[in-house]
Each structure stands twice: as C-alpha cells, then as structure tokens.
A and B are shown apart, each in its own frame.
Chain A
Amino acid sequence: MNEVHAAADAAQAAHGAAAVDPFIFAFTVFVLAVFIGYHVVWNVTPALHTPLMSLTNAISSIIIVGAILASGPLEQNLATVLGLFAVGLVSVNIFGGFMVTQRMLAMFKKRR
C-alpha cells in the first residue's frame, strides 16, 4: 500500500501549491494511479485473470458517478434523459459484474 500513500501525499502536495493548474493536478493523479495499477495487476495470479476482467469491468462502471450527475439537474432535457440511460447501462455492469465475479471466485477451491 506504499504506492497509495505516496499517491495521496503527492496529491496533497500538489494541492498545497496554490497555483497548480487543475488539469496538471488531475494528470498527476492519473499517472500515479497508472503506476499503482501496474504494480497491483502484475501481482494478480494468472488463474484469476478472467475474474480480474469481470471485476475491472465493474470498476470501470464507476462512471455511474458521471451518469448520476448528468441525470441530476432539476430542469429535464435531452442531457438528463441521456444521463438516466447511462445510469441504467452501467448498473447492468455494476450489479452483473460484481455478482459474476463473486460467482466465479466461489468456484476456486483447494484440494480437500
């Protein structure tokens, strides 16, 4: 978990410096997160590569945050309708992805 702390520290340091451009800040987080992903994923055992894909699929559905924000405004128009549609689509992935991952992982058993 050292990488996480490093990322958090770096993120805070970046925030502390008053004049940091928001894009540079976001990009810093992005690059550090890629490094975390790189290290974490190389440690995944090859036997679990299929659950890894279904789990990452569920995780990328985190864009539901964006979909909820799109559906949120009181004034309803095309933008909110598209947002709601997106909420429905990624909900399939979130519920389906985590569940099918759990179902697969439950099958991996050691010799009795």
Chain B
Amino acid sequence: MVAMAYLAAAVLLILALKGLSSPESARRGNIFGMIGMLLAVVVTLQLKQVHNYWWIFAAMAAGGVFGMFVARKIPMTHMPQLVAAMHSLVGLAAVLIAVSAFYNPEGYGIAAIGGGLKVSSRIELFLGTFIGAITFTASIVAFSKLQGLVSGKPLVFKGQHPLNLVLGIVMVGSGIAFCVTQAWIPFLVMLGIALLLGVLLIVPIGGADMPVIVSMLNSYSGWAAAGIGFTLENNMLIVAGALVGSSGAILSYIMTRAMNRSLFNVLLGGFGGESAAGGATSAVQRPYKSGSAEDAAFLLSNARSVIIVPGYGLAVARAQHVLKEMVDALIKQGVQVRFAIHPVAGRMPGHMNVLLAEADVPYDLVEEMDEINAEFADTDVALVIGANDVTNPAAKTDPASPIYGMPVLDVAKAQHVVFIKRSMSPGYAGLDNDLFYMDKTMMLFSDAKKACEAILQAL
C-alpha cells in the first residue's frame, strides 16, 4: 500500500515536469507536483515508526511560512539568487539526513546485523553526504555572487586547480576510509573537505557563467536526493532525484552549447577576468555614431518591423515594465515588434522570458534564437538592450576570437541597429564588438530603464 502510494507520487512528479512542455499545461503540471508531494508527505507521516508529529508539524510550518513569504515577495529580477539559495537548502538538508542516518541507522532500518551500517549503505551515505555538502556551499557562493554580496569577478589564484585536485583526492580517500571503518573521524574529514571544495570550485567562475553553474547545482541537488533515496531504499526518492538530476544536467548542456564551451572549460573558471579584458580592447579608438533617445524613437516609429534583443542589462535596470509600455506604443503605431532571446541571456536559463512575462509581454511575441535568427534580414530595426556578447559577429567571422563558434543573434543583418548600453565598455567576455562601429549602428548611452522612458516620451 505504502509502495503504491509512493509510486503514485512519483508518477505525479513526472507529470509535473511533463506539464512544462507548454505554458498552457504548465500550471496544471505544477498542481500535479503539489499533489504528489502532499501524498508523499502524508504517506510517510502515517508510517508506524514515525512519531513526534507536533515537532514535525512545527518544523514544517516554520519553514513553510518563511518559504511562502519569500515566494510572494521576491522580485522576478532576483529569481537566479532565489534558485541558488534553494539549492543550498536541499544540499544542507541532504547532509543533515545523512549525518542523522549515520548516527542512528536503526531509525532507517539500514543497520547491519550485529550493529553498524551495511556496506552498501556506507557507500551511499558517503556519496549522498559529499554531493549534498558541495551543493550546499557552492550554492551559497553562487547566491552571494548573484546577489552582489561578493564581486561577480572570477577569483583566481596560483595553484588553485592542483589544490582542488589534492583536496578531492583526500576527500575520496577519507570517504573510502569511512566505508571500511565506519568511524566518525574520516566521515567528518570527508564532510569538511566537501564543504570547502564547494566554495573553492565556484570562486573562480565569473558572474555571466552563472547560468551554467546554477543549472549544474540544480543537477547536483537532484543527485543528492537520489543518493538519500538509495540510502533509504526508497524508489520514489530515487525517481524524483534522477528526474531533477537529469533536468539540471540537460540545462547545463544547453547553456554550455549556447556558449560553445565545454562544462570543463566553464568549471576551470577565470573566463572574462581582468586579464582577458586588458588585451583585446587596447587598440586604436574607432569612430562610432551615438544618438539621442529622440533619434531612436524616430527610427523605431518609422520601422515596419522591430526585433528587441534583451540582455542582463535589462534585468539590472529592472526596465521590463517601461519596455513593455514602449512596445505597446510602437504596436499602436502599427510597428511589428518581437523579442529575440539568446539561451544564455541573463543569469539563469529562461531569465529573460520570465522578466518579459512579468511585464505582461505575451509569450507568443517572444522567440528563441533558432526560431527568429533568419528574420533579422527582413527587419528594419534591431534594438539591443543591455546585451553585447550574444550579438558579436566575431563569433562567426573571427577564428581568433575567444567566443568563435558561439551561436549569436544575427543582429548585424537588420537594416538598422540601436544599442542601448551604459558605455562603450566591453561585455563579459572582454571583447570589442564590431557591431558598434558599423554605419547602420546607433549607440544610445544610457541605463536601460531611462532609455526606454525617454524613447517612450519621444514616441
């Protein structure tokens, strides 16, 4: 009976993910997810070995109230931080559960005859603990970078990678020692090193690579849950963990592919640091055209079709609402307006889509890169707001460029290009963008929000 209920819960969780295949079915999917979770919790609570209900309810209420409060209040621009913070909670919880299982194996029915833990349980505990611990601290670092608590710049120091390698070997060694001896000392050493490694692995990675990192940590939190599932011999946990693990892995793959880099290359870190910014841009000053918001408004209102390319600058300036007003004004004048989203625009997968949805932009105006790239050639004005590297034609034309091979939006093919940017400073990759110097390009130096307000005024 219990096993059947857990199976039903697992199926509901699968249906929840399946719902996300389209915005129409997504809300129903989310409800399936809630029902699945509720079923799993209720079934677990009625097990005969579970007591202390009031304590458990109190803990759930405390966490639940806090969670709901945050979920209601959080601005959409802060979603990447929120997701990173939530990953850290899953990681920490996995560690606590593992420590608790080690302390009192009888509670889980995983004790070996004659006391102690079964060998298979020890291996599973080792895996679950170190994955959970790395997820915990790595997510905290990712959160701090996204929230701006620490600099988003990569922190690189000499001997970083050898140090991580040595720590990794010592961690695995202690883990094996724990599996053999079941002693606390190697367990705690392993746990401590895993916590430290989580920090060290993320510090060299820069802010704009966070979409990959957040996806990867999403994946880890799933594997940690599956690890706990193995320890408890609970198939539902294994299924749920495997779903989340593969989901995060696929997202990481999509993100790295969209940057034409390997996951290994992202993890090595240091990309877009000071050193990269220094070399490429020190060349001769080249002439460019800059214009006012009125000029931009004139161009836009005389266009038949406009494609808007939003980037992280839109999120930083929280310009999505005024942008929507500007778009409405243009549509009223008979201009066809669409949005082109690069997979790595923003700080997490789908970041731009959520911001535009929040501003009430209908999702059928928002297109993915592959759907819309061919249309730039037929477009009068491409308006780039707070994006840079994802439009850089060097990715196609210059084999020497660090971003060569990265798929980019074909902004250069439009009749006119307007860049809203705060200054001529290079983007994350530290590269100059030839688009800035083209005859058909107009630079509008401003904060994204102020620029959209000014254009709206002029329309």
Contacts and interface: CB of A to CB of B under 8 A. Distances in A.
Interface of A: 4, 8, 11, 22-23, 26, 29-30, 33-34, 36-38, 40-74, 76-80, 82-112
Interface of A is mostly: helix
Contacts of A56: 17, 218, 222, 243-244, 247-248
B198 interface: no
A63 to B, nearest CB: 5
Contacts of B360: 107, 109
Interface residues of B, number: 114
B94 interface: yes
A55 B20 contact: yes
B142 interface: no
Given A23-B120, A58-B37, A100 B74 contact: yes
A63 B90 contact: yes
A52 B40 contact: no
Given A68-B56, A72-B52, A60 B241 contact: yes
Contacts, number: 382
A83 B64 CA distance: 16
Contact of B242 (A34, A66, A73, A92): A34
B232 to A, nearest CB: 6
B97 A47 contact: no
A13 to B, nearest CB: 14
A95 B63 contact: yes
Given A30-B226, A44-B17, A108-B26, A58 B33 contact: yes
A16 B224 CA distance: 29
Given A72-B56, A73-B52, A99-B68, 9 more contacts: A42-B250, A44-B20, A45-B21, A50-B351, A70-B104, A90-B93, A92-B70, A95-B67, A98-B37
A108 B358 CA distance: 8
B24 to A, nearest CB: 8
Given A11-B235, A49-B349, A77-B104, A37 B37 contact: no
Contacts of B67: 91-97, 99
B365 interface: yes
A104 B215 CA distance: 18
Given A59-B240, A71-B56, A82-B99, A53 B251 contact: yes
A66 B52 CA distance: 15
A106 to B, nearest CB: 7
Nearest to B215: A53
Contacts of A103: 71-72
Contact of A46 (B41, B44, B368): B368
Contact of A106 (B27, B62, B70): B27
